[in-house]
Amino acid sequence: MPFKYKLEILAILAVLGFCALFLYTSSIMSDAKFAGSDTVGSSQIAEMTGKAEDEFQPLIWQWTPPSGEIESALFALQAAIGGIIVGWVFGYWKRQKKKTA
């Protein structure tokens, strides 16, 4: 194992381990829906208070994405914004490094 890439190999192993864990979990918990923990937390509150979930009215009006697909698109947009900034800065640093070299 080349010493130089120790951290890269560790990161790949961590991600692979995470995937394996998911496969294992989904095989032993066949009824698991993998809903967001926010949603699970909200239903827990509803259960504790004895109220239906839709009785929790927003205190401040909120726009909700009209469909799951649009929500996914907006999540992808959020990641893209982050990706663009990170990519731009790494490129900027690389260019600076070349100039000074």
Partner 1 sequence: MHIMEGFLPLDWAVFWWIIALPCMAFGIYRLKKVLEADREALPLLGVTGGFMFILSSLKLPSVTGSSSHPTGTGLSTICFGPWITSVVAAIVLLFQALFLAHGGLSTLGANIISMGVVGPLAGYGVYRALRETRVNMYLTVFLVCALADLLTYITTSLELALAYPAEVGGVSSSFILFIGIFAITQVPLAIVEGVVLALVFKYIVQLKPEILLRLKIFPEEKIRAARSEA
List residues near partner 1 by CB under 8 A.
Answer: 3-4, 7-8, 10-11, 14-15, 18, 21-22, 25-26, 29, 31-42, 44-45, 48-49, 56-60, 62-65, 71, 74-76, 78-79, 81-86, 88-90, 92-94, 96-97
Cβ atoms of 39 and 32 closer than 8 Å:
no
Rounded Cα gap, residues 43 and 37, in angstroms: 10
Provide, rounded to whole angstroms, the least separation between the CB of residue 3 and partner 1: 7
State both tokens at 48. Answer: 């504790």
Smallest separation (angstroms) from partner 1 to the CB of 43: 9
DSSP element (H, E) containing 1? none
